[in-house]
Amino acid sequence: MAGSRRLEKDLFGTLPDGRDVERIVLCGEGGFEARIITHGAVLQALIAPDAKGSCDDIVLGHDAFAGYLAERKFFGATVGRYANRIAGGRFSLDGETVQLPVNNGPNALHGGLDGFDRKLWDIAELHGGAEPGVTLSYVSPHGEENYPGRLDVRLTYRVTGQAELSLTMEARTDRPTIVNLTNHSFFNLEGATSGRSILDHRLMVAAAHFLAIDPTAIPLSEPPRAIAGTPFDFREARPVGERIRESDQQLRNGKGYDHTYCLAGDGKLHLAARLEAPISGRIMELLTDQPGLQVYSGNYLDGTISGKGGKLYRQSDAICLEPHIWPDAPNRPDFPSPRLDPGEAYRHHTVYRFAARRP
């Protein structure tokens, strides 16, 4: 099947200022494909075979560029400079207070008002051969969204196995700053247009602790909380919806699952989560070197967005598994540090590995 591995490129849309938005298609084996667009470095589609060999797109989003331009919902987007939330949009760095725009109640979320998900990235390299891939780049100037320092970012999507997508990110700065990047794909392993909920997907998360949050989704002033005996315990695989309706204050605060799990990978690539769909038999394993995994059960999908195939996206139509540094870490010296200094490199590696078995 080596001949099926290839790379294709076409025009996906045009920005209002006339700049082209390109799409790069990375083809693996057995129908496996990853489709990336340069606007937001978005994973626009991910095609994976089921247990019968039938292929389907398993990430939410839009069929045409107009949908991504019309509303900011982070479908498949690269999120930065800082993924997740910073309390009050404020932090101190070397004695200086930095005030970011707030765009999520009182807090800054996913890079602010105009984050990396709204930028047009450049195609830096195209990689052919047995592991087709694309490297995208973006330069965030000093002061963008009030973040200090110029940040040079490169990320590479690459098909690295029979049905495996590898994502690597790297960033460098010219002055002290903070950085925390992630991919924000919404997964439904039954298919993006299946109309099925993800509440019966079986989830495993390799973590014994999570970050309890306040009603604005900022971590509480306490150490990571043990998951044992709580609805947050996914150390053994179980359906996402099995305990999501329980009367638990943390589920109330998140409107479901919208919490960071504390991983113990010591900065090395390791299995962080496993997701399995009961009907299609599709399995996704997520490996990462990041210290946290945000598990979000699609709580704010409210039926107002029309997505692929004209489907209205509703609550729990997808699940996000977002590897990154912990939220509000710039204000929490007890959390993993998001600081980046000149001469250093921020690095992030995540792998999405797919298989299937008959239910």
Catalytic residue positions, numbered: 184, 322
Q: How many CB atoms lie within 10 A of CB 20?
A: 12
Best CA proximity match to 317, nearest among 193, 184, 183: 193
Dist. CA 278–CA 292, nearest whole Å: 26
Give CA–CA dist 303/306, Å, rounded.
8
**Cα–Cα distance between 329 and 286 in angstroms, integer?**
23
Task: Give the distance between the most distant pair of CA atoms in the chain.
Answer: 59
186 SS3 class: strand
CA angle 49, 167, 319 (to 5 degrees): 60
Q: Residue 97 belongs to what H/E stretch?
A: strand 96-99
**C-alpha distance from residue 179 to each of 23, 62, 151, 346 (Å):** 26, 28, 9, 8
Q: What is the Cα 210 distance to its own chain's centre?
A: 18
Rounded to a whole number of angstroms, the distance between the first and last alpha carbons of the chain is 26
Which among 71, 7, 78 is positioned nearest to 44, based on CA atoms?
Answer: 78
- Select from 72, 69, 63 the least CA-distant residue to 17: 69
* Secondary structure element (H or E) that encloses residue 87, with its range: none
Q: Is the dihedral of CA 115, 116, 117, 119 positive or negative?
A: positive
Q: Give rounded-to-5 percent helix, strand, coil for the chain.
A: 10, 45, 45
